[in-house]
Amino acid sequence: MQDPLYRELILEHWSNPQNYGILSDADIDVHENNPLCGDEIRVTAIIKNNTITDIQFVAQGCAISKASASLFTEKVKGQLIDEIKKITPEEILEDLGITLTPARTKCALLIYTTLRKKI
């Protein structure tokens, strides 16, 4: 990890993830895993008027996947589904602010690919 600021950001979101948990009345409930490294994630979300009004996740895995999920759920909460569909994998990686190996890139994008399966 290059920049200490980004290293701190990732460690903060890993140890204190935002939107961590499961929504019991979710419109979306999807589970996915990364067989390359063993990371697992479950995403639940509530959709009203074509907008994600609430989103939560639970995960087991590395700091990169958990931090990325925390950052991504913050990014999409309150957004229209059509706007979320326009988010690119490159944007997710930019939000992390570090250069990743191909294996770690899959970890960082696990939240993105999981949610996109259901929207």
CATH code, 110: 3.90.1010.10
Most confident of 23-27, 62-66, 100-104: 23-27
Q: Decide: pTM greater than 0.75.
A: yes
Q: Give me the mean pLDDT over the 11-28 stretch.
A: 94
Q: In this model, does residue 16 exceed pLDDT 50?
A: yes
Domain that holds residue 29: 4-116
Q: What is the pLDDT of residue 98?
A: 84
Where does 62-116 show beta strands of DSSP type E? none
Distance between CA 1 and CA 59 in Å, rounded? Answer: 22
Domain count for the chain = 1
For 63, residues 6+ apart whose C-beta sits below 8 A from its C-beta are 10, 11, 14
pLDDT band at 36 (very low <50, low <70, confident <90, very high): confident
Q: In this model, does residue 33 exceed pLDDT 70?
A: yes
Q: In this model, does residue 92 exceed pLDDT 60?
A: yes
Q: Are 68 and 87 in contact (CB under 8 A)?
A: no
pLDDT digits 0-9 by tens, 48-77: 999 999 999 999 998 999 999 999 999 999
